[in-house]
C-alpha cells in the first residue's frame, strides 16, 4: 500500500470489474460451526467415559443423536452452498485427492456411517463394550473430520489470513469449546458437578487458547504480510466487521473464561450453563467474521 | 509444449478490444469477465497518466484452483493450459476462493466455475486466442514458452530484467507475463480503490453466480 500513501504517486483504480460478492457466505459459517459441535461432543463423550464412566454411560445415545443432528446440519449447509448441489455425487465418482474438499467429504461420510453404527449399538443392541470400542475409532476419525476445513482454508492461496497451522489449532479448539459447551447443556441431572467442572475446564482452557491465537494474529499478523494487514483493517477501528468481531471474541472466549472461573468459585452450574450458551453463540460470530473478511479484499 | 502469455504494457492503450473479443468468442455472460483491462490513474493533475493492465487467468504451473478442485473439473491440458470441464464442476467455488488473481467466476447461466482457457478450443485448431487476434497493437503475445524460437520466448529474451508476473510471492509460477509492469499495475493493494469501478457506472459489488 506504498503507492496509495504517497501523494506524489496517488494511484487510483478508475476502472475494473465490480468486486465479486461474498463467495462463501453464512452457509459456510453454519457448516463450520455445526461440524465443530458434531465432532466436539464425540471428543467430550470419549473423555467423560474415561473419567466418569458411570455418569457418562447414561449419555451415550443422547450424545450420538446430537452428533448426528449437527453433522447433518453441516452436510445440509455444505450441499446448500454448492451452485450445483445435484452434482455432489461427482465427489465420490470423480475424486481429486489433492483437494481437502474431497478428502473431507469421504471422511465425513465414513464418520456419519460410524455414528449410525454407534446409535445402533447403544439403542438397539445395547452393547456398551462394543460401543466404547467403536467410539475410540470414531474419536480418532473425528480429529481429521474437524481439521479438514482448516486444510481447505489453507488451500485457498488467495486468502493470506487463513494460515496453517493456526487454522488447524483453531478448528480443534473450536471443537473442544463447542463440544464441552454442548455437553454441559446436555448433561442435565445425569452429570454431577465434578463432571461438569471438568467440562468447564475444557471450555475455559480452549476459549483461552483460541483467544490467544486470535489476538496474536490480530496484533502480529499485519507485521508479516501486506494482505493480512489489509484484511485486518476490516475489524479494526471503524471497520465494517469490528463490532461483530469483538462481540464474537467476548461471547465465545472472554466471557466464558470469566464465567468458568466464577462458576468454580461459586460452585454454580447455572453460571457454567450461561458460559456454554455464550460460547456457542459467540463461536458462530467468530467463525463468520474470519470467513468473510478475507473475501472483501480485491484480488486484482 | 508449455503455452504462455505475455502482455507488453508499454503497448497496451486500453482499447478493451481483447475484452470484447473474449466476450464474443466465449459467450461470456453479462456481469462476468474472463479477461478485463484494469485502469489505474497515477499522479496528481497536471502530472497524471493512466495505466492499462489486461488481466486474465495466469495458467499457473502450480495452480491453486486445480489443486483445490474436488472433482478435477479444473485440470491441466498437455500444452500447459489450465482448462475447465463445466459438466463436471459442482459449483463449490473453492477455485474462486483459491485463485489469488480473481480470475475465476461462477457463470450465472450454468452455475459452474469458469475462466479464461487461453481459448483452448481455438488453440486446438491451430488458431490464436481471440484476444491476441483482436489486439490492434500486438500487445498480447502468445506462444510456446519451451520453444526458444517462439515469439514469446524471443520477447522474454529481449526484455530480460523487465519481465514481471502477478503476486510471485504466492508460489503459483504463472505462465502469464508482463513487460513494463510495476507495483501500481500488478499489485491490487498498491492503489486506492473505491468499491467496484467508477469510470462508467456505479455498480459496487456483483452477486456471485447470480444469487446469494
A99 interfaces chain B, CB cutoff of 8 Å: yes
Q: A6: distance to nearest CA of chain B, Å?
A: 9
Nearest to B190 among A4, A20, A83 (CB): A4
Instruction: Give residue A230's pLDDT.
Output: 93
Of residues B34 and A6, more confidence is placed in B34
- A86, closest residue in chain B (CA to CA): B90
The Cα B134–Cα B16 span in angstroms is 9
Confidence band, pLDDT 50/70/90 cuts, at residue A268: very high
Instruction: Give residue A51's pLDDT.
Output: 95
Please give the backbone phi and psi of residue B115, each rounded to the nearest 5 degrees, phi first. -170, 175
A23 interfaces chain B, CB cutoff of 8 Å: yes
ipTM of the complex: 0.90
Instruction: Give residue B212's pLDDT.
Output: 42
Phi-psi region of B43 (alpha: psi -120 to 50; beta: other; left: phi over 0): left
> Does residue B196 have a pLDDT over 60?
no
C-alpha cell at A123: 439403542
Distance between the two ends of chain A, CA-based, in angstroms? 14
HSE (side-chain half, CA atoms, 13 Å) at A151: 18
Q: B145: distance to nearest CA of chain A, Å?
A: 25
The total domain count for chain B is: 1
Q: B154: distance to nearest CA of chain A, Å?
A: 28
Q: Which residues of A57-69 are buried (b: 16+ CB within 10 A; e: fewer)?
A: eebbebbbbbbbe
Q: Cell 464465567 identifies what position?
A: A259
C-alpha cell at A113: 456411517
Nearest to A11 among B40, B71, B96 (CB): B40
Do the Cβ atoms of B92 and A82 come within 8 Å? yes
- State the residue range of the domain holding B165: 3-198
Residue of A6, A18, A97, A292 for testing the chain B interface, max B β-carbons within 10 Å: A18
Confidence band, pLDDT 50/70/90 cuts, at residue B210: low
Please give the backbone phi and psi of residue B120, each rounded to the nearest 5 degrees, phi first. -55, -35
Rg (CA), chain A: 21
What does chain A come to in residues?
300
The Cα A75–Cα A113 span in angstroms is 13
Characterize the bridge pairing of strands B176-179 and B3-8.
parallel
Q: B46: distance to nearest CA of chain A, Å?
A: 12
Q: Is it true that the peptide bond before B46 is cis, omega within 30 degrees of 0?
A: yes
Instruction: Give residue A79's pLDDT.
Output: 95
pLDDT tens digits for range A64-97: 999 999 999 999 999 999 999 999 999 999 999 9
Q: What is the mean pLDDT of chain A?
A: 94
Tell me which residue of B208, B182, B204, B181 sits closest to B194, measured CA to CA: B204
CB A234 within 8 A of CB A241: yes
Rg (CA), chain B: 17
CB A66 within 8 A of CB A77: no
Of residues B161 and A253, more confidence is placed in A253
CB B54 within 8 A of CB A29: no
B112 interfaces chain A, CB cutoff of 8 Å: yes
Of residues B200 and B96, more confidence is placed in B96
Please give the backbone phi and psi of residue A265, each rounded to the nearest 5 degrees, phi first. -65, -45
DSSP string, B33-79: -SSEEEEEEEEETTEEEEEEEEE-----TT-HHHHH-TTS-EEE-TT
Q: Would B208 be classed as within a structural domain?
A: no
In chain B, residues with a C-beta closer than 8 Å to the C-beta of A156 are 64, 68, 94, 97-98
In chain B, residues with a C-beta closer than 8 Å to the C-beta of A18 are 31, 195-197, 203-206
Instruction: Give residue A4's pLDDT.
Output: 53
CA angle, residues A166, A168, A174, in degrees to nearest 5: 100
CA angle, residues B48, B50, B53, in degrees to nearest 5: 155
CB A27 within 8 A of CB A76: no
Nearest to B111 among A8, A84, A102 (CB): A84
- B182, closest residue in chain A (CA to CA): A3
Do the Cβ atoms of B190 and A3 come within 8 Å? yes
C-alpha cell at A124: 438397539
C-alpha cell at B121: 478450443
Please give the backbone phi and psi of residue A32, each rounded to the nearest 5 degrees, phi first. -70, -40
Do the Cβ atoms of A19 and B196 come within 8 Å? yes
Count helices and strands (H / E) in chain A: 13, 2
Do the Cβ atoms of A298 and B183 come within 8 Å? no
- Span A17-24, average pLDDT: 82
Instruction: Give residue B200's pLDDT.
Output: 63
Do the Cβ atoms of B98 and A158 come within 8 Å? yes
In chain B, residues with a C-beta closer than 8 Å to the C-beta of A102 are 70-71
Q: Would B96 be classed as within a structural domain?
A: yes
Please report the residues numbered 216 through 245 in chain A whose beta carbons come closer than 8 angstroms to any beta carbon of chain B: 226-227, 230
Of residues A224 and A3, more confidence is placed in A224
pLDDT tens digits for range A199-248: 999 999 999 999 999 999 999 999 999 999 999 999 999 999 999 999 99
Instruction: Give residue A129's pLDDT.
Output: 95
> Does residue A147 have a pLDDT over 50?
yes
Q: What is the CATH number of domain A24-296?
A: 1.20.1630.10
pTM beyond cutoff 0.90: yes
B203 interfaces chain A, CB cutoff of 8 Å: yes
> Does residue A5 have a pLDDT over 60?
no
Confidence band, pLDDT 50/70/90 cuts, at residue B31: confident
Do the Cβ atoms of B191 and A11 come within 8 Å? yes
DSSP 3-state of B3: strand
Confidence band, pLDDT 50/70/90 cuts, at residue A197: very high
Do the Cβ atoms of B72 and A94 come within 8 Å? yes
A and B: number of Cβ contacts within 8 A = 209
Q: Which residues of B127-154 are buried (b: 16+ CB within 10 A; e: fewer)?
A: ebbbbbbbbeeebbbbbbbeeeebebbe
What is the maximum span of chain B, computed from C-alpha positions, in angstroms?
53
- A90, closest residue in chain B (CA to CA): B71
Q: Cell 471428543 identifies what position?
A: A43
Confidence band, pLDDT 50/70/90 cuts, at residue A48: very high
Amino acid at each position: 500500500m506504498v503507492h496509495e500513501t504517497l501523494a506524489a504517486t496517488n494511484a487510483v483504480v478508475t476502472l475494473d470489474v465490480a468486486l465479486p460478492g461474498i463467495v462463501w457466505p453464512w452457509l459456510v459459517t453454519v457448516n463450520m460451526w455445526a461440524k465443530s459441535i458434531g465432532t466436539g461432543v464425540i471428543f467430550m463423550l470419549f473423555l467423560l467415559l474415561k473419567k466418569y464412566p458411570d455418569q457418562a454411560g447414561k449419555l451415550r445415545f443422547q450424545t450420538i443423536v446430537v452428533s448426528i443432528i449437527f453433522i447433518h446440519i453441516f452436510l445440509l449447509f455444505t450441499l446448500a452452498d454448492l451452485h450445483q448441489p445435484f452434482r455432489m455425487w461427482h465427489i465420490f465418482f470423480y475424486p481429486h485427492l489433492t483437494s481437502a474438499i474431497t478428502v473431507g467429504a469421504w471422511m465425513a461420510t465414513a464418520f456419519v456411517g460410524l455414528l449410525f453404527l454407534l446409535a445402533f449399538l447403544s439403542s438397539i443392541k445395547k452393547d456398551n463394550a462394543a460401543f466404547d470400542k467403536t467410539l475410540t475409532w470414531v474419536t480418532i476419525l473425528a480429529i481429521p473430520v474437524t481439521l479438514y476445513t482448516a486444510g481447505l482454508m489453507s488451500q485457498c492461496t488467495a486468502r493470506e489470513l487463513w494460515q496453517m497451522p493456526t487454522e488447524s489449532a483453531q478448528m480443534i479448539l473450536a471443537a473442544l469449546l463447542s463440544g464441552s459447551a454442548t455437553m454441559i447443556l446436555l448433561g442435565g441431572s445425569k452429570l454431577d458437578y465434578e463432571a461438569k467442572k471438568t467440562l468447564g475446564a475444557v471450555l475455559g482452557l480452549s476459549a483461552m487458547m483460541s483467544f490467544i491465537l486470535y489476538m496474536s494474529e490480530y496484533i502480529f499478523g499485519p507485521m508479516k504480510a501486506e494482505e493480512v494487514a489489509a484484511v485486518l483493517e476490516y475489524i479494526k477501528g471503524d471497520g465494517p466487521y469490528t463490532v461483530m468481531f469483538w462481540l464474537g471474541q467476548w461471547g465465545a472466549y472472554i466471557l466464558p473464561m470469566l464465567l468458568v472461573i466464577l462458576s468454580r468459585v461459586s460452585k454454580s452450574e447455572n453460571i457454567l450453563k450461561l458460559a456454554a450458551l455464550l460460547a456457542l453463540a459467540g463461536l458462530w460470530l467468530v467463525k463468520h467474521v474470519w470467513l468473510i473478511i478475507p473475501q472483501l479484499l480485491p484480488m486484482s | 509444449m508449455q503455452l504462455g502469455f505475455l502482455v507488453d504494457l508499454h503497448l497496451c492503450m486500453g482499447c478493451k478490444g481483447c475484452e470484447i473479443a473474449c466476450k464474443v468468442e466465449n459467450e461470456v455472460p453479462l456481469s462476468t469477465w474472463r479477461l478485463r483491462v484494469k485502469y489505474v490513474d497515477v499522479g496528481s493533475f497536471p502530472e497524471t497518466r493512466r495505466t492499462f493492465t489486461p488481466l486474465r487467468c495466469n495458467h499457473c504451473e502450480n495452480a491453486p484452483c486445480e489443486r483445490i478442485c474436488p472433482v478435477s473439473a479444473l485440470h491441466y491440458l498437455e500444452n500447459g493450459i489450465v482448462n475447465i470441464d463445466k459438466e463436471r464442476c459442482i459449483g463449490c467455488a473453492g477455485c474462486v476462493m483459491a485463485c489469488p488473481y480473481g480470475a475465476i467466476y461462477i457463470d450465472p447461466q450454468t452455475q459452474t466455475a469458469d475462466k479464461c482457457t487461453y481459448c483452448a478450443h481455438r488453440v486446438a485448431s491451430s488458431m490464436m486466442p481471440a484476444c491476441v487476434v483482436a489486439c490492434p497493437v500486438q500487445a498480447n503475445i502468445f506462444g510456446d514458452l519451451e520453444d526458444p524460437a517462439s515469439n514469446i520466448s524471443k520477447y522474454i529474451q529481449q526484455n530480460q530484467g523487465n519481465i514481471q508476473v502477478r503476486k510471485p510471492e504466492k508460489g503459483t509460477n504463472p505462465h502469464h507475463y508482463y513487460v513494463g509492469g510495476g507495483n501500481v499495475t500488478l499489485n491490487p493493494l498498491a492503489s486506492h480503490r473505491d468499491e467496484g469501478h467508477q469510470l462508467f457506472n456505479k455498480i459496487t459489488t456483483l452477486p456471485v453466480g447470480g444469487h446469494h
